[in-house]
Amino acid sequence: MAKTRIIYTCQSCGYQLPKWLGKCPDCNQWNSFVEEKAFEERKGLQVFEGGSSPQPITTLEVKEEDRLKTGIGELDRVLGGGIVLGSAILIGGDPGIGKSTLLLQAMAMLAGNGEKVLYVSGEESPRQTKIRGERLGATSENLFIYAENTLERILDSVKRLKPGILIIDSIQTIYTQALESSPGSVSQVRETSSQLIFNAKGMDMPIFLVGHVTKDGSIAGPRVLEHMVDTVLYFEGERGHQFRILRAVKNRYGSVMEIGVFEMHDKGLEEVTNPSALFLAERPENASGSVVVSSLEGTRPILVEIQSLVCPTIFGIPKRTVVGIDYNRVALLTAVLEKKGGLNIQNHDIFLKVTGGVRLEEPAIDLGIIASLASNFLDKAIPQKTVVFGEVGLAGEVRGISQAEPRINEAEKLGFDKCILPKDNLSKIKGKLEMIGVKSVKEMMDVLF
Ligand code: TYD
Ligand code: MG
């Protein structure tokens, strides 16, 4: 009889070794190796019957991908215009953020339109799901709930039921009997998800996998999971806030810059079609340090408020606390403001925040960050109806940005009457609001203060 081989697998990156180590040589994680029985290796190369043969790219037939619309506009947009048939979508997020709620709502809509949906819940009993479904108004004969953890039984029911779409909530609770390691371990997650995705692709059935996240916010389990799927979505938001943001971080069928905004109510998630108005709703009046910037999230410009506080450092090293923007970027722009804007700001504590729990990454918000810091430092408020955008370089120059026109239109729609933007963009656009083009940080300061 063959002896079963023992291997040790790093639970953080999936690295395998024949002996235990305290520290993973691949990802440097401590104490992450877990003993597992080696998976019986397949002998020889598997040759599939049929399949396709190589073809010149010019003769390939291009078909518009078939997409299923969930009817939840924000979700459809983040997916790139609906769910592509046969695609695998991984959705991650903190516990309790609303992943199950979002999927149940979306699937109820699809089921209502006649699509057969199988919702596999490894975490909640059918009763719990039913109670939640009733609260959300998600009741349809086409929505099948299945509380199951074993891969083999799930695949069996999929083959019998032949659903149009499959939900696995969550992948960390599913295990295959072929492996002896516990559910949620790297090997189990890798094996079960690859089997599920392989089967789903074969049936041209879209599949949603819900994934847990680790303490540092990435999806738990092997990195390979993100390579196996077509789309990775993160559902994020702050616990105390009712806003939730759905963000695509990988999408083979659409843009990854796209975000969807939702609000959590007692009757489930509601989409927010005009996020700018929502983010600006509680803006203080004539407060120094408050500035509205325009950030392009995918195809949609969003107006968001940035606030800052600049206070003299009482003791020790000046402190920088930043929420919603990369910390280093703020440090860099502070240095530019000091040297090129002529403000003695480096020896001050700086607190900077994007309101509404949004995270901004676009370069176009640079000028807004600088305007906010300068405004609070000088204690001079920026006019309420002014929007600021532009990229800032280390020489203090303000550089042109892409897609200025949709940003201007959005600002106009929300009643803004003045816009400070890069001079480079000024000549190329028309707008009804007053537009002031600036070439440097210094010029912007002259205009504003
Ligand atoms: P859930 O979808 O279970 O989160 P996840 O699957 O990401 O872990 O969301 C549960 C949270 O949402 C819970 O804290 C309660 C809240 N909630 C509402 O506020 N209203 C609702 O209608 C529902 C269904 C949930
Ligand atoms: Mg859940």
Segment 273-290, tens digit of pLDDT: 888 888 888 889 999 999
Instruction: From residue 273, give the alpha-carbon distance in Å to each of 112, 262, 382.
Output: 22, 9, 27
Directed axis angle between helix 126-136 and helix 99-112, to 10°? 70
Binding site membership of 173 for ligand 1 (Cβ less than 6 Å): no
pTM: 0.78
Which pLDDT score, from 0 to 100, does residue 428 have?
A: 84
Fold of 66-273: Rossmann fold (3.40.50)
- Please list the ranges in the chain whose pLDDT falls under 70: 1-4, 39-52, 62, 64-65, 215-223, 239
Domain borders along the chain are 4-39, 66-273, 278-448
For residue 101, the ligand 1 atom closest to its alpha carbon is 2
Q: Comparing 66-273 with 278-448, is the CATH topology the same?
A: no
Which pLDDT score, from 0 to 100, does residue 338 have?
A: 95
Binding site membership of 96 for ligand 1 (Cβ less than 6 Å): yes
User: What tens digit of pLDDT does each residue of 300-342 get?
Assistant: 888 999 999 999 999 889 999 999 999 999 999 999 999 999 9
Binding site membership of 221 for ligand 1 (Cβ less than 6 Å): no
Which pLDDT score, from 0 to 100, does residue 241 have?
A: 73
Which pLDDT score, from 0 to 100, does residue 259 have?
A: 84
Which pLDDT score, from 0 to 100, does residue 291 have?
A: 96
Which pLDDT score, from 0 to 100, does residue 66 have?
A: 79
Which pLDDT score, from 0 to 100, does residue 110 have?
A: 92
Binding site membership of 241 for ligand 1 (Cβ less than 6 Å): no
Which pLDDT score, from 0 to 100, does residue 41 have?
A: 53
- Closest-CA residue, ligand 1 atom 24, reads 268
Nearest 5°: the CA angle 20, 22, 24 is 85
Binding site membership of 98 for ligand 1 (Cβ less than 6 Å): yes
For residue 135, the ligand 1 atom closest to its alpha carbon is 22
Which pLDDT score, from 0 to 100, does residue 49 have?
A: 55
Which pLDDT score, from 0 to 100, does residue 116 have?
A: 94
Expressed in angstroms and rounded, the spacing between residue 268 Cα and the centre of ligand 1 is 7
Tell me the CATH class for 278-448: alpha beta
E-assigned strands of 191-299? 207-211, 231-236, 243-251, 259-265, 268-271, 291-297
Sheet with strand 165-169: strands edge to edge: 143-146, 117-121, 165-169, 207-211, 88-92, 231-236, 243-251, 259-265, 268-271
